[in-house]
Chain A
Amino acid sequence: KQEVTQIPAALSVPEGENLVLNCSFTDSAIYNLQWFRQDPGKGLTSLLLIQSSQREQTSGRLNASLDKSSGRSTLYIAASQPGDSATYLCAGRFMDSNYQLIWGAGTKLIIKP
């Protein structure tokens, strides 16, 4: 059974710092991995999607990596801003999960001004 884990559950950093959010998964037969952002009471915004054949994807201040052999993905946020405060979720799509998304529990990020 595929599992996706995000540690820590919460993270608080001062504004301006670079930070890394972690996502680990148990099944190396991953098809792709998607990072989302969720503001309180809102829907999910897709940030980046990395295919299994890729190692990195970048969008603005965000960079996501994928390492299938170690079962890890990271989301790097450069020069953090208070507006980056949200819950970040990763979700993997695996060959044996009928391509349904398997979700991590999320990391709640607080950027202190």
Chain B
Amino acid sequence: DTEVTQTPKHLVMGMTNKKSLKCEQHMGHRAMYWYKQKAKKPPELMFVYSYEKLSINESVPSRFSPECPNSSLLNLHLHALQPEDSALYLCASSQDPNQPQHFGDGTRLSIL
């Protein structure tokens, strides 16, 4: 069992849909992350939310937008995605940015 919970586990959506991925941790961690992982590749960092500050990987398109309602939750809002956005989306958290990251099981996203 993982201490970082991601929902849903699987998501299929059309290119015009709007959906959200959710990530929750109750370890009191102050840093949370979203990664995108394509098959047989390492994860790519998309966003970091640390001590109430958001850091963005500048290569991430604006159709992805993170939201941090509180210190335990990090959502990823999706809008007008493209087929190449199909991937495994992983959420992680750490006590602070220099400490080990703990990952959720991921959301498998498929764009039709």
| A residues at B contact (CB < 8 Å) | 31-32, 34, 36, 41-46, 49, 89, 91, 93, 99-101, 103-106
Number of B positions contacting A (CB below 8 A) = 22
- A42: chain B residues at CB < 8 Å are 105-106
Q: Is the interface of A mostly helix, strand, loop or mixed?
A: strand
- A43: chain B residues at CB < 8 Å are 2, 4, 6, 90, 103-106
| Other-chain contact of B42, A41, A45, A49, A89 (Cβ < 8 Å) | A89
- What distance in Å separates the Cβ of A1 from its nearest Cβ neighbour in chain B? 15
Query: Contact: B42 with A106, CB < 8 Å?
Result: yes
| B residues at A contact (CB < 8 Å) | 2, 4, 6, 40-43, 45, 48, 88, 90, 92, 97-98, 100-106, 108
- B106: chain A residues at CB < 8 Å are 41-43
The docked-state distance in angstroms from the alpha carbon of A110 to that of B59 is 34
The docked-state distance in angstroms from the alpha carbon of A43 to that of B9 is 11
Query: Contact: A103 with B42, CB < 8 Å?
Result: yes
- What distance in Å separates the Cβ of B27 from its nearest Cβ neighbour in chain A? 13
The docked-state distance in angstroms from the alpha carbon of A93 to that of B97 is 10
- B4: chain A residues at CB < 8 Å are 43
The interface centre, meaning the residue of A34, A41, A44, A103 with most chain B CB atoms within 10 A of its CB, is: A44
- B88: chain A residues at CB < 8 Å are 41
Query: Contact: B103 with A100, CB < 8 Å?
Result: no
- What distance in Å separates the Cβ of A25 from its nearest Cβ neighbour in chain B? 14
Query: Contact: B48 with A34, CB < 8 Å?
Result: no
The docked-state distance in angstroms from the alpha carbon of A97 to that of B37 is 20
The docked-state distance in angstroms from the alpha carbon of A100 to that of B55 is 11
28 contacts between A and B (CB under 8 A): A34-B100, A34-B101, A41-B106, A41-B108, A43-B2, A43-B90, A43-B103, A43-B105, A43-B106, A44-B43, A44-B90, A44-B92, A44-B103, A45-B103, A46-B100, A46-B101, A46-B103, A89-B42, A91-B42, A93-B98, A99-B97, A100-B45, A100-B97, A101-B45, A103-B43, A104-B42, A105-B41, A105-B42
